[in-house]
Structure 1
Amino acid sequence: MNSVNGYLVTFYTQQDRRHGHQQISEWLMDLARDLGFEGATLNVATEGFGRDRKLHSAHFIELSDMPVQLSLAITEQECNTLFERLEADGVQVFFIKVPIEMGTSGRHS
């Protein structure tokens, strides 16, 4: 098994939050791809609340307030690059960053 140390970075936002003309979640996904990261996972939640204690949820008629999370398993250098870019672009988004060991099990061919 080959493994490397890095970070699991998870961003939390809502469907209606935007950066420029794009939803923040889409913008983050595109950024991860543009930076050459190996993968990202976007999850949409049914309900959640933030520091303002306001409940955010997916409603049958209106989905704009739906909670969204994007997770990335990235190296330390990728993490530094990502946060430098967020700072440069003035993007404000809540995140959790956890040190991890990542790798792939099994034989590599």
Structure 2
Amino acid sequence: MEGSFLRFYVNEIQTHRGRLLWEWLLDQGNRLGIRGGSAFRAIGGFGRRHALHEDRFFELAGSSGIEVEFVVTEEEAKRLLALVGQEKMRIFYTRIPASFGVISPDAEDPPEPAS
């Protein structure tokens, strides 16, 4: 299948509607029927303010980044990005073209769309 690798970059303590934002994103992806999503804590990095954040600095506790990623079809990406836009959230994201599929699929795997 053809689609996108869709990754959101959020702060680990950032919230939306009373929930951690990374949890909210995963929940919304699940509700939209996206086949899977993952969240990963960054061990270090910097953002637009160029402040270096590393997991080991106690004084920066809670300021690490979280990457929330999905491999999605074009339609799934549009729906998730539209939902984030409707919620008026300012989130940095990347979207990279991707080919994906399942080797030896079983009956629970969704069929690949006809080309």
**Range class of TM-score, shorter chain:** 0.7 to 0.9
Q: Distance in 1 between matches of 2:53 and 2:19?
A: 20
Task: Give the 3-state SS of the residue equivalent to 1:42 in structure 2.
Answer: strand
Equivalent residue for 1:50? Answer: 47
What is the Cα deviation at residue 57 of structure 1? 2.6
Equivalent residue for 2:103? Answer: 105
Q: Distance in 2 between matches of 1:104 and 1:45?
A: 28
Task: Give the 3-state SS of the residue equivalent to 2:79 in structure 1.
Answer: helix
Gap regions ≥5 residues in structure 1: none
* Deviation >6 Å, runs of 4+: none
What is the Cα deviation at residue 59 of structure 1? 4.0
The answer to whether residue 12 in structure 2 is matched with residue 15 in structure 1 is yes
Write out aligned runs for 1:18-37 (5 A).
18-37=15-34
Task: Give the 3-state SS of the residue equivalent to 2:72 in structure 1.
Answer: strand
Equivalent residue for 2:112? Answer: none
Q: Distance in 1 between matches of 2:101 and 2:61?
A: 36
The answer to whether residue 89 in structure 2 is matched with residue 96 in structure 1 is no
Higher strand fraction (1 or 2): 1
What is the Cα deviation at residue 14 of structure 1? 1.3
Q: Alpha-carbon deviations, 1:46-105, whole Å to 9, x = none?
A: 111001101223247564112110110000000110111011111111111001111012
Equivalent residue for 2:65? Answer: 67
Q: Distance in 1 between matches of 2:105 and 2:38?
A: 24
Task: Give the 3-state SS of the residue equivalent to 2:101 in structure 1.
Answer: strand
The percent identity for this pair of structures is: 25
